[in-house]
Structure 1
């Protein structure tokens, strides 16, 4: 079966966030992949997420989409959705001039369309954070002072710190963060003056990711970052930059209880998966 590796939220190879995209046969294929097989494939691929796309015949969607880290299945993933849509358009599986509708297990139907400039627009649920008391050892684990802490419906902690420099210089205690009751820790601050983006962030998910536990660019985190910074800055169109080693830019447009995430993607590998 066809497997692609796509760098998402970037317009050049070896930046943004890489995702595996496995293009499955339609319903009734033999053997039909199950969740255990998908999890083993994701563990083999070792990307922060591997997406599994399967054609379906349904009134509300053309494809089924599931996402797996090397450790667990997740309820929502932005960069692997962007990568999946990019793969479907590039391989001609999806019509170049139409939307792609993905049915997901936990996040409803997600629609991706192409913008006039060739980017991709993703319609996602908004997941605004509600203010909460920070865990007692959060500041010590991050190595910086939290100024505000919120939790969203994805069980992410959003942590506001002093400024962009504080975000970029973080060297957290990943073992300590991994013991906290959260899918991930989103650390954010407003952008320095003169930047081409409005806010900066990093995402740490020691409980779901391999390696150093930092995700390069996290689309789903912007479902929380967008509503938070939209309220703080009084705007419904923003640009975020995730300041990981690879780095990536995510456009966010607020639309009530939905957010439109925008970005680009680049295929770096296209081959056949044998197992």
Structure 2
């Protein structure tokens, strides 16, 4: 099977969030899918199967297991479909564990539309303060935990401790603050030690929680988000009520042939 290594949410190689996209005729066993993801050791490996209609079946695996929603690997998969499967199309539909997702090519960027996460506020705890080295201004919990830190410097300077992070609620743990750079609205970082991913470089699904928060706080629907991982990445976002539009750039690194036997 073909596997495409793609850097998402960036316009240059060796930045953004890398994902491997495997294009296949059918899904092999979950064990095989998991083993490929472990071998790749990226935060996400995406698996794509054409379902005989105008849609594709799409699944995502981390090294620690299957996940129900992933932004950067969906963006990467959309890029692969446009480049190698449907070069004359400007919209692709995916059937996933989170329902139908789409990727479109709009104004020079690849654009996704995802369901928003509800802003369920929870009490800030001493454990959160101990983990992040500063007391969060607020905390929210949906699938993931989001802690709002006092400053962008607090987000950038956080030295991650996987053991402490794993004790906090949420599948992923996100930290965010208002940006200290005028070209961005927010800054964030994302951690997933429960999925064997210490820090995810640029995270689309996290912004299904981050974008509604900053749209509410800033009184605007268009949010330009900077993820301050060592690789960094930029997401161009729009809050749409119960949906979030996430756009970004994509760069191809390599095309490989996997020799897999079930």
- TM-score by structure 2 length? 0.96
- Could you say what secondary structure the match of 2:131 adopts? helix
What are the ranges of 5 or more consecutive residues in structure 2 without an aligned counterpart? none
Alpha-carbon distance between aligned partners in 2 of 1:255 and 1:109, rounded to the nearest angstrom: 16
Partner of 1:184: 172
Partner of 2:235: 250
Alpha-carbon distance between aligned partners in 2 of 1:139 and 1:79, rounded to the nearest angstrom: 29
Kindly state the Cα deviation for residue 130 of structure 1 after the two structures are TM-superposed. 1.2
The within-5 A match list for 1:1-275 is 1-25=1-25, 27=26, 32-58=27-53, 61-91=54-84, 93-105=85-97, 107-117=98-108, 119-152=109-142, 154=143, 156-192=144-180, 194-210=181-197, 213-275=198-260
Kindly state the Cα deviation for residue 228 of structure 1 after the two structures are TM-superposed. 0.4
Alpha-carbon distance between aligned partners in 1 of 2:43 and 2:161, rounded to the nearest angstrom: 19
Alpha-carbon distance between aligned partners in 2 of 1:18 and 1:240, rounded to the nearest angstrom: 18
Kindly state the Cα deviation for residue 135 of structure 1 after the two structures are TM-superposed. 4.0
Judge conservation of contact 1:9–1:250 (CA < 8 Å) in 2: yes
Alpha-carbon distance between aligned partners in 1 of 2:235 and 2:217, rounded to the nearest angstrom: 18
Alpha-carbon distance between aligned partners in 2 of 1:96 and 1:268, rounded to the nearest angstrom: 22
Alpha-carbon distance between aligned partners in 1 of 2:127 and 2:188, rounded to the nearest angstrom: 20
What are the ranges of 5 or more consecutive residues in structure 1 without an aligned counterpart? none
Kindly state the Cα deviation for residue 70 of structure 1 after the two structures are TM-superposed. 0.5
Judge conservation of contact 1:143–1:172 (CA < 8 Å) in 2: no
- Could you say what secondary structure the match of 2:155 adopts? helix
Alpha-carbon distance between aligned partners in 1 of 2:62 and 2:124, rounded to the nearest angstrom: 26
Aligned residues: 260
Kindly state the Cα deviation for residue 179 of structure 1 after the two structures are TM-superposed. 2.1
- TM-score by structure 1 length? 0.91
Judge conservation of contact 2:179–2:186 (CA < 8 Å) in 1: yes
Q: In the TM superposition, what whole-angstrom CA distance separates every residue of 1:28-81 from its partner, at most 9, and x where no partner exists?
A: xxxx512221111100100000000100124xx510000000111001000000
Alpha-carbon distance between aligned partners in 1 of 2:121 and 2:169, rounded to the nearest angstrom: 15
Alpha-carbon distance between aligned partners in 2 of 1:17 and 1:181, rounded to the nearest angstrom: 24
Alpha-carbon distance between aligned partners in 1 of 2:19 and 2:134, rounded to the nearest angstrom: 31
Kindly state the Cα deviation for residue 199 of structure 1 after the two structures are TM-superposed. 0.4
Which one has the bigger strand percentage?
A: 2
- Could you say what secondary structure the match of 2:193 adopts? coil
Kindly state the Cα deviation for residue 270 of structure 1 after the two structures are TM-superposed. 0.5
- Could you say what secondary structure the match of 1:137 adopts? helix
